[in-house]
Amino acid sequence: MSDERPWLKNYPQGVPANINADEYPSLVALLEATFIKYGKNPAFSCMGKELTFEQVDKKSQQFGAYLLSRGLEPGDKVALMMPNMLQYPIALFGCLRAGLTIVNTNPLYTPREMKHQFTDSGAKAIIICENFAANLQKILGDTQIKTIILTNIGEMLGFTKGMLTNFVVRKVKSMVPKYNLPNAVTFKEALAQGKKFSIKEFASNPSDVILLQYTGGTTGVSKGAMLTNRNLVANMMQIRAAARNAIVDGEEIALSPLPLYHIFAFSVNCLALFSLGALNVLVTNPRDLPSLMKEFKNYKISNMTGVNTLFNGLLHHNDFASLDFSALKFALGGGMAVQRAVAEKWQKVTGSPLVEGYGMTESSPVATISPIDGSGKLGYIGLPAPSTELRIVDEKLNPLPVGETGEIQIKGPQVMKGYYNQPEATEKTIVDDWLCTGDIGLMDEDGYFRIVDRKKDMILVSGFNVYPNEIEDVVARHPKVLEVAAIGVPSEKSGEIVKVYVVKKNKSLTEEEVIKHCRSELTGYKVPKEVAFIDDLPKTNVGKILRRKLRDELT
């Protein structure tokens, strides 16, 4: 670890420069210590139903034992495909305790995307919510999956509430297309059967791959990032160290609207906050803002995770400002850049900071985090996490001085082992232990990093680099704008010009107003030449805006 870490002088008091990535030999060792420590405390809540650490411990053991009884062996891949529900942590911890490798799968995937992930990973089993079973049926024959465990949204909510929930989901909202998977077993059946078996000892090493986390695929074909015991333990320790001043062991109530199968919520909520004895309040459908906001009435929420679009949506909801934020210490934003206008408004409305973090699937994911107390710099992604180095490099991967713009590289114990079955892609991405992020940024003299944009999203206007984030940040500050995305479109005269897609907050907004507003804040070549008004921006399931889709529609 280099001593040239200018950011260390700006670490909040009590945050260590380094963590011990080898404090626990495996993720399971850390989880089992957590079960013992917090026992009867509530660990997860969903739709009003709570499970204690003790209950999660017991049920996950039963679940892991059941999977092994079906012929699965340590190292086999198991796909988890469900939204936030109590079954997720039970299945996750059960698989890990049985030595199985997790393949987190986005439930909104099309059959084509599912097939790619299941065949690429070689998954042999799947735990899937019935809402998505019809898609599985279409591609099952093309995969190695032999063990199917089916669950439903109401299954763990208790008899009455479960029946009512399933009635609404199946009959009223028609959210479960017809399917036929004759050999599937229900989640409850698997738990009941698992009581008859036990998990046998298996060899486990810090370097074992325990999670195949597929990249978002927003920049091409989705690749499986191989994350090891040590990667995930290290990142948990880093998150815990960075949040040390704000977290009270065993007392936090964390709102978890982001899906746990996404690496951000997976590491921050399901692992790090869980390991600190927090109660994670799971939101099954984060797009249902009234249900999400109801959790502020049910619980004294002390922290939450989210993405910019979610925070922005809440701030624009009429009822949000009237909620009780007295226990809220901070919100953590990741997955995409947090816009300055959103962060400022969040602080004003809730009285607590919206802290930005940065990372990627390949770094387990957290690489930087702003001081949790809100003392960081707005518009920056914060300081590198303990035991982590970041640097800015030019096209030839030569380090650049302070203030210069180039590609961000990451080095630390949380950086993945590589891409599964993709040695060439791994070689291009990890060079001399440095992870090449594909993100363009800079470091200031205080060691704070700022994302300027993704390499692939950069717009080239007459030879000048224009970064969509900057344009979006400016347009988002217009009071009549709800959401915005900026892309480059071909131009004979200048190579490319800036085009913005705007979702109106106020119907009276005109193209002229948007351009006039931009002219007052941006140099000439950065000002959008085209403004398109749109009802909705295309987004990933986590709420990340897909600029690629907007570009694709033009070609």
For the chain, domain boundaries: 27-35+47-204, 458-554
pLDDT band at residue 140 under the 50/70/90 scheme: very high
Please give the average per-residue pLDDT across 314-334, as a whole number. 96
Residue 282, amino acid: L
Q: How many CB atoms lie within 10 A of CB 512?
A: 9
Q: What pLDDT is recorded for position 555?
A: 63
Nearest to 63 by CA among 213, 188, 249, 181: 188
**CA separation for the pair 515, 256 (Å, rounded):** 37
pTM across the whole model: 0.88
Task: Give 373 or 84, the one with higher predicted confidence.
Answer: 84
Q: What pLDDT is recorded for position 221?
A: 66
Please give the average per-residue pLDDT across 492-521, as a whole number. 93
Q: What pLDDT is recorded for position 126?
A: 98
Three-class secondary structure of residue 428 per DSSP: helix
Q: What pLDDT is recorded for position 117?
A: 94
Please give the average per-residue pLDDT across 300-325, as a whole number. 95
What residues form DSSP beta bridges with 431?
434
Q: What pLDDT is recorded for position 220?
A: 52
Place of tokens 């004979």: 492
Please give the average per-residue pLDDT across 522-545, as a whole number. 91
Q: What angle do CA 441, 443, 449 make, to 5 degrees?
A: 70
Please give the average per-residue pLDDT across 24-43, as a whole number. 97
Taking 70 as the threshold, does the pLDDT of residue 1 lie above it? no
**H or E stretch covering 104:** strand 101-104
CA atoms within 13 A on the CB side of 407: 16
Q: Are the beta carbons of 386 and 14 closer than 8 angstroms?
A: no
Rounded to the nearest integer, the mean pLDDT of the chain is: 94
Digit-coded pLDDT (tens) for 421-443: 999 999 999 999 999 999 999 99
Evaluated on CA atoms 482, 486, 491, 493, the torsion sign reads positive
Task: Give 451 or 365, the one with higher predicted confidence.
Answer: 365
Q: What pLDDT is recorded for position 339?
A: 84
Please give the average per-residue pLDDT across 37-41, as a whole number. 98
Q: Are the beta carbons of 347 and 373 closer than 8 angstroms?
A: no
Taking 80 as the threshold, does the pLDDT of residue 464 lie above it? no
Three-class secondary structure of residue 326 per DSSP: coil
Place of tokens 């040239």: 4
**Chain centre to alpha carbon of residue 153:** 21
| First and final C-alpha spacing in the chain | 46
Peptide bond between residue 365 and the one before it cis (omega within 30 degrees of 0): yes
Q: Are the beta carbons of 339 and 333 closer than 8 angstroms?
A: no
Q: What pLDDT is recorded for position 110?
A: 83
Q: Are the beta carbons of 226 and 418 closer than 8 angstroms?
A: yes
Class of domain 27-35+47-204: alpha beta
pLDDT over 90, % of the chain:
83
Q: What angle do CA 492, 498, 504 make, to 5 degrees?
A: 140
Q: What pLDDT is recorded for position 218?
A: 44
**H or E stretch covering 488:** strand 481-491
Q: Name, in order, each residue with C-beta under 8 angstroms of 8's C-beta and a sequence gap of 6 or more.
A: 17, 447
Which bin fits 506, alpha (ψ -120 to 50), beta or left (φ > 0)? beta
What residues form DSSP beta bridges with 449?
382, 443
Q: What pLDDT is recorded for position 216?
A: 62
Please give the average per-residue pLDDT across 111-116, as a whole number. 87
Q: Are the beta carbons of 56 and 63 closer than 8 angstroms?
A: no
Digit-coded pLDDT (tens) for 350-364: 999 999 999 999 999
Digit-coded pLDDT (tens) for 78-88: 999 999 999 99
Two tokens, residue 188: 């409850």
Q: How many CB atoms lie within 10 A of CB 23?
A: 12
Q: What pLDDT is recorded for position 219?
A: 46
**CA separation for the pair 307, 228 (Å, rounded):** 26
pLDDT over 70, % of the chain:
98
Taking 90 as the threshold, does the pLDDT of residue 453 lie above it? no
| Sheet of strand 530-533, all strands in order from the earlier edge strand to the far edge | 481-491, 495-504, 530-533
DSSP for residue 160: H
**CA separation for the pair 70, 65 (Å, rounded):** 9
Two tokens, residue 149: 């465990």
Taking 50 as the threshold, does the pLDDT of residue 511 lie above it? yes
- Report the CATH fold assignment for 458-554: GMP Synthetase; Chain A, domain 3 (3.30.300)
